[in-house]
Amino acid sequence: MNPTPASAPTDQATPQPGLSVVLGGTGGIGAALVAQLRAQGSTVLALGRQTQPALDYAAEATVAACAQHVAAQLSPTGLALTRLVVATGFLHGTTASGQRAEPERSWQHLNADALAHSFAVNAIGPALVMKHFLPLLPRQGRCVAAFLSARVGSIGDNALGGWYAYRASKAALNQLVHTAAIELARRNRDALCVALHPGTVDTALSQPFAKSGLQVRPPDVAAVELLGVLDGLPPGSSGGFFDHRGVEVPW
User: Where on the chain is the footprint of ligand NAP (CB under 6 A)?
Assistant: 24, 26-30, 48-50, 55-58, 87-90, 121, 125, 148, 150, 197-198, 200-201, 203-206
User: Would you say 27 or 239 has its CB closer to ligand NAP?
Assistant: 27
* Least separation in angstroms between CB 35 and ligand NAP: 13
Closest CB 14 distance from ligand NAP, rounded Å: 28
Q: Which is nearer to ligand NAP, 136 or 177 (CB)?
A: 177
Contact between residue 150 and residue 197 where contact means Cβ atoms under 8 Å apart: yes
92/135 Cα distance (integer angstroms): 32
Q: What single DSSP character describes residue 161?
A: -
Report the DSSP pairing between strands 100-101 and 93-94. Answer: antiparallel
On whether the CB atoms of residues 40 and 230 are closer than 8 A, the answer is: no
Measured from the CB atom, the residue of 125 and 240 that comes closer to ligand NAP is 125
Nearest-angstrom CA–CA distance, 22 and 45: 6
Pick between residue 43 and residue 203 the one whose CB is nearest to ligand NAP: 203
Report the nearest approach of ligand NAP to the CB of residue 77 (Å): 25
Least separation in angstroms between CB 202 and ligand NAP? 7
Q: Decide: helix, strand or coil at residue 115.
A: helix
